[in-house]
Amino acid sequence: MLRLDRVSKRYAQGHTALQGISLELEPGSMHFLTGHSGAGKSTLLKLATAMERPSGGRIFFGDQEITRIPRRRVPHLRRAIGTVFQDHKLLYDRTVHENVALALRVANFPRNRIHGRVQAVLTKVGLEGHQNKLPITLSGGEQQRVAIARALVNKPDLLLADEPTGNLDQELADEIMDLFYEFHQFGMTVLVATHDLTQPNRLDLPQIRLQQGQMAA
Ligand SMILES: Nc1ncnc2c1ncn2[C@@H]1O[C@H](COP(=O)(O)OP(=O)(O)OP(=O)(O)O)[C@@H](O)[C@H]1O
């Protein structure tokens, strides 16, 4: 599904964020990406979505080489890869429904099917009944669910999450991780970057551990 082959990333300021990273996510697998602050977790996720380009090595998503796709193909790639970030980047002047529907609109999804698809995904993440609310009126955990719904509404093959529970207490964090686990059980490939080392143990899932930009032993 996602394969990195000896990937490195050196930022313009000269800092090496990743070095010699090779890994493969099998379709339907779920992994946690762990490591200290600055280990390179966010950088790895940004490379996988072509938000950043690697300085060396190659990245494949299915049979596409991400490192070679032309800029005009990047939006297409991003629809196949759902992303969730800690600061959910919701539009606070739009309703929950509109936040999620926007992801379908930009993908030219048929207009007459948008409402049904949005309702279905909001139900899936436990937000039925909240569709007409503004995000600011929701709790942190609920806002994160809106972001998850938005990431899922295009039915991506791969879900990448970067510290999706960073601002939540343990109980809410567990609930969000359980939701990702459920998607994985339904066949989605999932990679979650987290500081929270309780999660891989709690869910009995493998970790990809980064240490100063390299794969830890
Ligand atoms: N845009 C950038 N320009 C220069 N250096 C950067 C940039 N983004 C990240 N870095 C550096 O690359 C290294 C890896 O950062 P990255 O954000 O990938 O780590 P992380 O493991 O996600 O950390 P955290 O858990 O704190 O988010 C850090 O030393 C960071 O300072």
The C-alpha atoms of residue 94 and residue 116 are separated, in whole angstroms, by: 18
Q: How many domains does the chain have?
A: 1
Q: What is the mean pLDDT of residues 93-100?
A: 97
Q: Is ligand 1 within 6 A of the CB of residue 156?
A: no
Q: Is ligand 1 within 6 A of the CB of residue 43?
A: yes
Q: 74 - beta bridge partners?
A: none
| Chain centre distance of CA 194 | 11
| Ligand 1 atom showing the smallest separation from residue 44 Cα | 18
Q: What is the CATH number of the domain that holds 26?
A: 3.40.50.300
Q: Is ligand 1 within 6 A of the CB of residue 37?
A: yes
Exposed/middle/buried for 68, CB within 10 Å: 0-12, 13-18, 19+? Answer: exposed
| pTM for this predicted structure | 0.92
CB atoms inside a 10 Å sphere around CB 198: 12
Mutation probe of ligand 1 site: the residue of 33, 36, 41, 55 with most atoms within 8 A of C-beta: 41
Q: What is the mean pLDDT of residues 176-205?
A: 93
Q: Is ligand 1 within 6 A of the CB of residue 35?
A: yes
Contact yes or no for 208/23 (Cβ under 8 A): yes
The C-alpha atoms of residue 107 and residue 151 are separated, in whole angstroms, by: 12
Domain interval for residue 63: 2-215
pLDDT at 159: 96
pLDDT at 69: 86
